[in-house]
Structure formats: C-alpha cells, structure tokens
Amino acid sequence: MLNVTRLRILRELHVRGTLAQVAQALSYTPSAISQQLSMLERETGVQLLEHVGRRVRLTDDALALVAHTEIVLAQLERAEADLAAAQPSVRGTLRLASFQTVVLEIAPAVLTLLEQSHPALQVEITMRDVDTAFSGLLSSQFDVILGEEYPGLPDPVREGADRTDLVTDPIYLAIPSDGPWSTAPTTIAELASTPWALDPPGSASGDWARVVCRSAGFEPRVRFEGPDPLLHAHLVRTGHAVAFVPALIAADHLEGTQLVGLPGDPLRILYTAVRDGRAGHPAVRAIREALARAVAERQPQRPRRRVRS
C-alpha cells in the first residue's frame, strides 16, 4: 500500500518545484523530504525523480502518480467533509487567505457573523497575494482563499480548485476634495500630469490601472506604489495623488475625497476558491455564507460625477 504522506510530498514537489520549497512548506528538512521520496521510489519500484543540474525533475511515472494522488487526496477530503457534516455543530479551524482590501472591509463582519452562528469554528486569516494564496490552497496550507479579477484580466481557473463568485464591485476614480487635483476631469487623459497612488505592477489591480491610463494615451506618474489601500486613500485625501478605488473601501475610508465614475462602469469580481474535495465541508459552507452576507450588507458610496472615454 502506498503511503499517503509520501504521495502528498511528491505532489507538493510537483507544485512547488524544489525540495527546499517543499521542506519549507511542510516544515521538514530538505534531507527528510529527500528520504521520504526515496522511500516512495522503493515502494513503487520505479524511478520518480531525475537530476537536472542541481535540481530534480519528476519522471513520467511520477507525473502519472501525481495525477492519481490528486484524486486520492480529494476523495479523502470529501470523506472528512461527510464526517463533519454528520456532527451537531460546525467546529474546528478554518484558514483563510486574502488580500488587504477584503481583510480590511469584510473580515471583521465575517468574524462577527461566524462567532454568532458557529462559535466553535475558529478562523485564521492571512494576507497573501492571489498567486501565493492559490499555491497555499492547493498544498493544503489554506482552506479558503478570497481572490479578485479585474476587467480584461481574467484569472485562470486552477485545476483542483472550486471557485464561487462572491460579488461584482464597482471601481471608481478618487480625487481630493481640495487642492490642485480636486477638479473632476472630463476624461482620463486629463490626468496625464497628475500624481497617482497605484498598486504594484504584477498585481491584478496594478496591471489594470496601468492599462486604463495607457489606453488614455499616457504612462501614469506614480508618486506612491504599494498594496495599501488606506495609504492610497490618505494620499488622495491630503491632496497628494489620485487613485482608482473599489467601492467596498469607498464607504468608510474616503472621507475628504471625491468619487468619479469611470467609462464603461468597470467592475472587479471578488470570488472564493477552495479545493474540490473540500467544497462540501460545513466550515467552508459557513464561511462562504458569512462572506456573502457581509458583502450584501455593505452600503458602498456612489460617485456624483463621471468621466468620458
């Protein structure tokens, strides 16, 4: 009988690529990971790894075994979900990974709702970018992730993940209420010389913002680059920049600013993702329901003005 723990290590190597990364993710030493994989080779009677320079690569037999491992692990999680569903209450620990905007706006309400409806369920929240969160999800580091998708930048559906869209969130332009940048533009192109606060390139929001500016014929003059929406809002409020902001943060954190509607009414999609085998787990259902309720109860601020293309 093949050892499930060793199969999981082989799958983790397929996902992460190096023995060092597997060891770090699973809290083993690299030598212990290597020993476990050597034992798996003896169990299977086939070569699973081949050396390429200083790295190792999975053989075709190993890739075939990984495919079977995915099915085994998903089925084990379905068994766990069935057992949990037969219990009188939702309990245990659920690990959620998300990005800062959602943690800032939704997490407190979600925690309150879960404390009221499922007091035996403990939720741990970690801030991660979407790609890192998905990697952690598929390797069982996290149980649920919150992701975002921006217009024109579809987020690929990862194999082995169950995605459910949570809400479509309008995106606005935020400008100061006073100072040289406080006059609402009639087009995006009028902001070519304006300082911006933007998320970094490589993030969904940062890439989308730069596409919008470039489509209007200019490269944004970035005064602040970072993934902190509260600092973006503060720079706008104090008259030092303009920024694109999602409606979810507009209601509570943009006092002293003006919101301006954008051409085409762009929307970002917030979604949850879990591993396929865990989608039916009572804890997963509970947090998805709490997230949907928390978002539905938000009353986002709406813009009074609008810019043209």
- Provide the domain count of the chain: 3
Pairing state between β 195-198 and 161-176: unpaired
Residue 173 half-sphere exposure toward CB, CA atoms < 13 A: 31
Q: Quote the pTM value.
A: 0.85
pLDDT at 209: 97
Do 122 and 252 sit in the same domain of this protein? no
Identify the H or E element spanning 7: helix 4-16
Q: What CATH number should be reported for the domain holding residue 206?
A: 3.40.190.10
Residue finishing a domain among 83, 102, 123: 83
Q: Which of 65, 83, 101 is the last residue of a domain?
A: 83
Q: Do 260 and 178 fall into the same domain?
A: yes
Same domain, 116 and 63: no
* Tens-level pLDDT at each residue, the chain (309 residues): 899 999 999 999 998 888 998 998 888 999 999 999 999 999 999 999 998 887 899 999 999 999 999 999 999 999 999 999 999 999 999 999 988 777 777 888 999 999 999 999 999 999 888 888 888 898 888 999 998 899 999 887 788 899 999 999 999 999 999 999 999 999 999 999 999 999 999 888 999 999 999 999 999 999 999 988 888 989 999 999 999 998 887 667 788 899 999 999 999 999 999 999 999 999 999 999 999 999 888 766 778 788 887
**157 and 216 assigned to the same domain:** no
Same domain, 74 and 96: no
Amino acid (1-letter code) at residue 282: P
For residues 96 and 161, membership in a common domain is answered with yes
If we measure between CA atoms, which residue out of 143, 139, 98 comes closest to residue 122? 143
- Is 148 in the same domain as 160? yes
Phi and psi (nearest 5°) for 3?
A: -80, 125
What's 51's domain CATH number? 1.10.10.10
pLDDT of residue 17: 86
| Longest Cα separation, the chain | 73
> Quick one: pLDDT at residue 66?
94
- 146's CB contacts (< 8 A; 6+ apart) are 96, 97, 98, 99, 102, 106, 133, 166, 270, 271, 272, 291
Contact between residue 270 and residue 102 where contact means Cβ atoms under 8 Å apart: yes
Q: Does residue 54 sit in the same domain as residue 180?
A: no
Asked if residue 287 and residue 158 are part of one domain, the reply reads yes
Amino acid 254: pLDDT: 80
* Domain assignment of residue 177, given as a range: 168-267+301-306
Co-location of 291 and 232 in the same domain: no
219 and 157 in one domain?
no
The pair phi, psi for residue 7, each rounded to 5°, is -65, -40
- On whether both 132 and 205 belong to a single domain, the answer is no
Final residue before a domain boundary, out of 26, 48, 83: 83
